[in-house]
Amino acid sequence: MAKGTVAYKIIEKHLVSGRLIPGEEIAIKIDQTLTQDATGTMAYLQFEAMGVDRVKTELSVSYIDHNMLQTDYKNPDDHKYLMSVAKRYGVYLSKPGNGICHQVHVERFAKPGKTLLGSDSHTPTSGGVGMLAIGAGGLDVAAAMAGEPFYLKMPRIVGVKLTGTLPPWVTAKDIILELLRRLTVKGGVGKIFEYFGEGIKELSVPERATITNMGAELGATTSIFPSDEITRAYLKAQGREEDWIELLPDENAEYDEVIEINLSELEPLIACPHSPDNVVPVREVEGVKVDQVVIGSCTNSSFVDLTRAGKMLEGRRIHPDVIFAVAPGSKQALELIAQEGILLNFLKAGARVLESACGPCIGMGYAPPSGGVSVRSFNRNFEGRSGTKDAKVYLASPEVCVASAIAGEIIDPRRLAEREGIKWIKVQMPERFPYGDEAIIPPLPEEEAKKVEIYRGPNIAPLPEFDELPTEIQGEVSLIVGDNITTDHIMPAGANILPLRSNIYAISEYVYHYVDPEFVSRAKKIRDEKGIANIIIGGENYGQGSSREHAALAPRFLGVRVVIAKSFARIHHANLINFGILPLEFVDKRDYAKFSLGDEVHIPELIDRLKGGKEILVINKTTKEEIACKYSLTPKQVSVLLSGGLLRWIKNKQKV
Ligand code: SF4
């Protein structure tokens, strides 16, 4: 047991039920929540359906940062709905242009020792200030706003010991890329990564937040740093020293496992297409011609990142063949680089300055050219996520990005620095950040809030109703996919699809759109004409990537009742359950090959077996084979599945 660690202490303090033994179900109290617009509209529709009069958390924030394009009424409708619903229910609202949720949360709201549940997989970013910050589906976040605890399996707490000192041109991004190189995108499942050791003393809060942010790519439950004097100085500069508490691991803290990284031995790294764990030293891919470079996203767009990048560009020009853009992570970061003159360096170098939002990271504009190479300071490079299916996206530190933008090809920044005489700088934290919060709307007092009318434009569709889990399932295999299917594969993003996030009827038309464009019509036929369930067969790590619950909700709407996979990614597994889809795993992974498209399937005695904790037999009626399946469900998850999903489960509970 990882007693005495920072994560353990926070969990212990927030424990509502369960024992702190890895793998056992625990429930923890949630202090803060965050939502962003792409997941938030659905989360607030679900919150409304719970019939609660005002959020019950200490603090909840609704960010508008994802769907920023206003090419028709859809996104503005969503934004106006979110603004009115925040007013009505006691939620802070961060307006479009104020910045990316995680960046702004670290700056303005994250508190050491507290818990945060966010409807975005990069919520762990706030672990950079010693907060236990977890990403979940929107329905889980809605439940937390309604006062429900958050249920999870007690993770193993892995200590990441940082020793040595980072050499010049090697950054926080390289620390997390090194961990991804070693552990892969599945290496963090069921784990919390807690950083300690001498090496953390030279990392500022924004640098720590880069590391906790991209811990999400490891599949980790969350990542966390202690809250020390560096955290205190940062919060003081944000005008929030009173939010600081010291939170360090005990001298004799025990971790379930320890990984050591000697910072002195690291070098600039890069994740090659199409996975964040496809990591190699930059020098190994030098010379690859670059079409586009972007600095931004919730991973690397802080004041520190922008300052270093901007200083490298001072007196220099972007290569003529490269289009370079910078999207500051927040209005505060933008304001600061404007004050310090750094913004001018970008402009003079020929950069395009984008607004403070997710933008290119979620395929909202700024897609690379066909077959083009884009080097980005982001966290994900799954195929097609950029908006261009055959683009090759590389992920690296802002320093590698700028070096490559100047050279016109991927280059180790150390080599470019030597060639061009560029000096490495240590960025000093400002004594006072510009924290005016001009674009943050605080909650209204309760009585006033009750009078607010919620705006529902035509883009806001009512929630569909789902039924309970049947006692047995008759179904048909409507899709078979391979390993590492991402939520982007299941429910793509992009400028045409994202605006439909608050309309489940419309967005369901895009499920598995790029993987199998026939899937939707096949699924509807099985649902409507045959009147049976859709069954999906998946490989390893099914549903990795973002927390978007639409990747579970939309398939459920199309009639998917069961996904049988070799293994599941954590958040998606929870989302499937939340929407009443049964996630089953093959007892023998080779049985994956025993299914073909169109096979008829019968799952008998489903409820009895689930209640009794017994293996589930899936009968392939077409081949006449019986396939043994297991499941990893807590008692609460079984109860949610039997109810037909979390919303029904909460409503049933309210009736009692
Ligand atoms: Fe936005 Fe990209 Fe971060 Fe998601 S990963 S919150 S889309 S910047």
CA angle at 431 for the pair 427 and 435, rounded to the nearest 5°: 105
C-alpha 210 – ligand 1 centre gap (Å): 12
C-alpha 296 – ligand 1 centre gap (Å): 9
The closest residue, in CA terms, to atom 6 on ligand 1 is 298
Whole-angstrom distance, CA of residue 4 vs CA of residue 253: 4
Given the structure tokens 């424990």, which residue do they identify?
15
Q: Which CATH superfamily is domain 6-265 in?
A: Aconitase, domain 3 (3.30.499.10)
Determine which one of 121, 330, 374, 546 is catalytic. Answer: 546
Has 548 been annotated as catalytic?
A: yes
Residues in Cβ contact with 569 at an 8 Å cutoff, skipping those fewer than 6 apart: 189, 219, 541, 542, 543, 544, 545
Cα–Cα distances in Å, from 536 out to 210, 449, 470, 475?
A: 35, 44, 17, 10
C-alpha 213 – ligand 1 centre gap (Å): 10
CA angle at 111 for the pair 177 and 171, rounded to the nearest 5°: 20
Contact 560, 581 (CB under 8 A): yes
DSSP code of 509?
A: G
- Looking at residue 655, what is its pLDDT? 78
User: pLDDT over 70 for what percent of the chain?
Assistant: 100
Residues in Cβ contact with 184 at an 8 Å cutoff, skipping those fewer than 6 apart: 218, 277
CA angle at 514 for the pair 390 and 481, rounded to the nearest 5°: 105
Picking from 495, 487, 490, the residue whose alpha carbon sits closest to that of residue 514 is: 490
Residues 32-43 have a mean pLDDT of 96
Has 588 been annotated as catalytic?
A: no
Has 419 been annotated as catalytic?
A: no
Residues 406-432 have a mean pLDDT of 96
Tokens found for residue 296: 């931004």
- Looking at residue 383, what is its pLDDT? 87
Helices assigned H by DSSP within 189-341: 205-214, 229-237, 303-313, 331-339
Pocket residue to mutate for ligand 1, from 69, 102, 210, most atoms within 8 A of Cβ: 102
CA angle at 344 for the pair 339 and 345, rounded to the nearest 5°: 120
What's the pLDDT band for 546 if we cut at 50, 70, 90? confident
Cα–Cα distances in Å, from 88 out to 95, 279, 517, 581, 606?
A: 16, 46, 40, 32, 42
C-alpha 378 – ligand 1 centre gap (Å): 8
Indicate if ipTM > 0.95.
yes
Q: What are residue 135's DSSP bridge partners?
A: 118
What's the pLDDT band for 494 if we cut at 50, 70, 90? confident
Residues 424-440 have a mean pLDDT of 95
Residues 387-403 have a mean pLDDT of 96
Has 380 been annotated as catalytic?
A: yes
Contact 380, 121 (CB under 8 A): no
- Looking at residue 274, what is its pLDDT? 95
Has 232 been annotated as catalytic?
A: no
Helix (H) or strand (E) holding 626: strand 625-630
- Looking at residue 357, what is its pLDDT? 97
Binding pocket residue ranges, ligand 1, CB within 6 Å: 66, 100, 102, 120, 122, 297-298, 358, 361-362, 379
What's the pLDDT band for 463 if we cut at 50, 70, 90? very high
Given the structure tokens 């005990």, which residue do they identify?
250
Give the domain 269-420 fold. Answer: Aconitase; domain 3 (3.30.499)
Reported CATH class of domain 473-650: alpha beta
Residues 310-321 have a mean pLDDT of 98
> Is the pLDDT score of 1 beyond 80?
no
Whole-angstrom distance, CA of residue 428 vs CA of residue 169: 16
Phi, psi of 362 (to 5 degrees): -110, 15
Has 648 been annotated as catalytic?
A: no
> Is the pLDDT score of 569 beyond 80?
yes
Helix (H) or strand (E) holding 628: strand 625-630
The closest residue, in CA terms, to atom 3 on ligand 1 is 298
* Half-sphere CA count of 261, side-chain side, radius 13 A: 26
Q: Where do the domains of the chain lie?
A: 6-265, 269-420, 473-650
Per-residue pLDDT tens digits for 626-639:
999 999 999 999 99
Give the lowest-confidence range in 347-361, 486-500, 568-582, 603-617.
486-500
Helix/strand number for the chain, H first, E second: 22, 27
DSSP labels, 29-55? ---EEEEEHHHHHHHHHHHHHTT-SS-
- Looking at residue 389, what is its pLDDT? 87
Residues 58-73 have a mean pLDDT of 94
The closest residue, in CA terms, to atom 2 on ligand 1 is 361
Q: Please give the number of the atom of ligand 1 that sits closest to the Cα of 102.
A: 6
Pocket residue to mutate for ligand 1, from 217, 379, 487, most atoms within 8 A of Cβ: 379
Work out whether the CA dihedral 485, 490, 492, 493 comes out positive or negative.
negative
The closest residue, in CA terms, to atom 8 on ligand 1 is 297
Pocket residue to mutate for ligand 1, from 358, 366, 376, 385, most atoms within 8 A of Cβ: 358
- Looking at residue 487, what is its pLDDT? 93
Determine which one of 14, 66, 156, 385 is catalytic. Answer: 66
Residues in Cβ contact with 67 at an 8 Å cutoff, skipping those fewer than 6 apart: 37, 38, 75, 78, 364, 498, 499, 501
Please tell me if the domain spanning 6-265 has the same topology as the one spanning 269-420.
Answer: yes
> Is the pLDDT score of 539 beyond 90?
yes
